[in-house]
Amino acid sequence: MDLVVENFGRINHGLLNQFHQFKGLTDAVYINDIIVRNWKIVPLEFKINWNINSNNWKPITTVEATPALYKFVLEIDDEPEDTFVDVQGWTKGITIVNGFVLGRHFFIGPQQTLYLPAPLLRIGSNDFIVFEHYDAKKYLKFSIAPIFGNTLYV
């Protein structure tokens, strides 16, 4: 069994000794009423060397509702320009461009695009890795302008 625990939120209020605020797994995990012990922790740090050197990618044939990594390639023929990665339709995760962690996305907004400055792009092949927690798309979209809005109630 794999459990994905991530540090998406932050604790930014309260005194350390007055309030006990914790993130991640704070209680025991059970399978069939038996406590799971001897964890093997595998951090997903998305450091630049790993991002650039990851391989063994397979074509997307189906999109599962599960945490997964997806790789996309964008071919650029002319001098790159500033743009925005449109993350509408994605649920929650991070986007990496040519090894650089561009940012996080979360469907509730208000930000529905990630600013992608031209210096992070290059003429030729540009690799995008998206770590999606829930529902991925089979493609990436781009926008010439930022998109804001809360999609939770749309």
Higher pLDDT, 110 or 80: 80
Return the CATH number at 133: 2.60.120.260
In the chain, what is the straight-line distance between the N-terminal and C-terminal CA atoms, in Å?
A: 35
> C-alpha dihedral over 31, 34, 39, 40, to 10 degrees?
-40
pTM of the model: 0.78
pLDDT tens-place string over residues 51-86: 888 888 888 777 777 888 889 999 999 999 999 999
Total domains in the fold of the chain = 1
CA distance 121 to 132: 22
Asked if residue 124 is part of any domain, the answer here is: yes
Asked if residue 68 is part of any domain, the answer here is: yes
Asked if residue 32 is part of any domain, the answer here is: no
Helical spans, DSSP H, in 2-136: 48-53
Q: Which two tokens stand for residue 97?
A: 């461009």
Query: How many CB atoms lie under 10 A from the CB of residue 50?
Result: 13
pLDDT tens-place string over residues 21-40: 666 677 888 889 999 888 78
Q: Which element (helix H / strand E) includes 126?
A: strand 124-132
Going from the C-alpha of 118 to that of each of 52, 65, 97, 126, 144, the distances in angstroms are 18, 32, 11, 12, 12
Q: Which domain holds residue 96?
A: 48-143
Query: How many CB atoms lie under 10 A from the CB of residue 98?
Result: 17
